[in-house]
Amino acid sequence: MRQVPVKRAFACVMIAVLPACTGAPEQADAPRTATDFATSARCPSPPDTPVHIKGDTFMMGSDAVYAEEGPPRLTQVSAFWIDRHEVTNAQFVAFVKATGHVTVAEKPVDPAQFGVPASQIPAFMLEPGSAVFTPPARPSRNYADWWAYVPGANWKKPYGPQGPDAVAGQPVVHLAWEDMQAYARWKGGRLPTEAEWEYAASAGAPDSAAQPGPDAANSWQGVFPVVNEASDGFEGIAPVGCFAPNAFGLYDMVGNVWEVTADFFRPGHDPRAADNPRGPSENDAYDPLNPGFASRVMKGGSYLCAPNYCQRYRPESRQGRDPGLGASNVGFRLVYDRAPR
């Protein structure tokens, strides 16, 4: 069995790839401030009541865009309930008030988790914090140019300590896997399997051509990562419910923030796993972008997905997600095996 990923395992990768981790300035050119992403937009608030999804067979996966999404195959999913929208800051506040939970991003960092001599760890990476999208001033296709470890970033301060406070109706971000699991236990739900999530997102559409596009939820218009036209009304995270729901009544399945699922990640689907699949074992997990540990699958794209870089505003889209550290564009929603209370 592979070693269970430790908190902040992502930081090991960041040490290798981020200029900020080698002692160089975080950006060669001054990034725009986090407050650029503040939004005062208000949208209708959809109810918090979950939606019942009847079991069915659907075509899971796609070979049309990215290789890791295939092969498509008929897949059976049993009935379940699913949150109508991403878990919001308001919902997470209720959880924190009830339990006193402190998230991973708010806790001191254990230097032993980096796996390198302490002298090689920049001091700021030992401070509580999280990964924040920090747009560069010039074009780039290297993700290390727009992700930075920002001390003080957490679910209460999604754009970092200098940015706006978390907004009640917006999805909660900057959570690690263990934070999501704690919320799920308190709520009486669980993280969805990838198959459950993808079926709910496709909402009975018979093929990918009939499925939603980038205008179905908050995404990126313009040339990523330097020109954020925000013609959909949102430069950063949008409140849940600002875009029309899909045919199952679910909001923001193909945008706003990525949503973490229960499955471990490896590129491509096992075509033999077609009856309520649960993904590979932890030992078989493999994420080319984070090869040192077992990533979880996240689904549906985010407000950072643009046609020129990340066409992942689709039900089939999938990427690996570091379980030990949150990010400013990653959230979740729960499913339930029985009618929620």
Residues that bind Ca ion (CB under 5 A): 218, 232, 234, 252, 256, 259, 300, 303
- H or E element at residue 108: none
Judged by beta carbon, residue 208 or residue 218, the one nearer Ca ion is 218
Structure tokens at 163: 């940015």
Q: Which is nearer to Ca ion, 14 or 131 (CB)?
A: 131
Cβ 234 to Ca ion shortest distance, Å: 4
Q: Shortest distance, CB of residue 136 to Ca ion, whole angstroms?
A: 18
Nearer to Ca ion, 10 or 332 (CB): 332
What's the closest the beta carbon of residue 171 comes to Ca ion, in angstroms? 7
230: alpha, beta or left, given left = phi > 0 and alpha = psi -120 to 50? left
Nearer to Ca ion, 211 or 218 (CB): 218
Q: Which is nearer to Ca ion, 47 or 291 (CB)?
A: 47
Q: Contact, 118 vs 125, CB < 8 A? A: no
| Closest distance of CB 316 from Ca ion, Å | 14
**Which residues are 330's β-sheet partners?**
258
**Beta carbon of residue 237, minimum distance to Ca ion (angstroms, whole number):** 9
Classify residue 44 as exposed, middle or buried by CB count within 10 Å of its CB (0-12, 13-18, 19+).
exposed
Cβ atoms 163, 56 nearer than 8 A? no
Alpha helices in 75-149 (DSSP H): 89-99
Q: For residues 145 and 252, which CB has a smaller minimum distance to Ca ion in the complex?
A: 252
Collapsing DSSP states into helix, strand and coil, what is residue 181? helix
Phi, psi torsion values for 336, nearest 5 degrees:
-140, 145
Instruction: Give whichever of 300 and 323 is closer to Ca ion, judged by the CB atom.
Output: 300
* Cβ atoms of residues 239 and 232 within 8 Å: no
Structure tokens at 321: 């997600």
Least Å distance, CB 12 to Ca ion, is 27
At 233, list the tokens.
């009304």
Q: How far is the CB of 277 from Ca ion (least distance, A)?
A: 21
CB-based burial label for 339 (10 Å; 0-12, 13-18, 19+): exposed
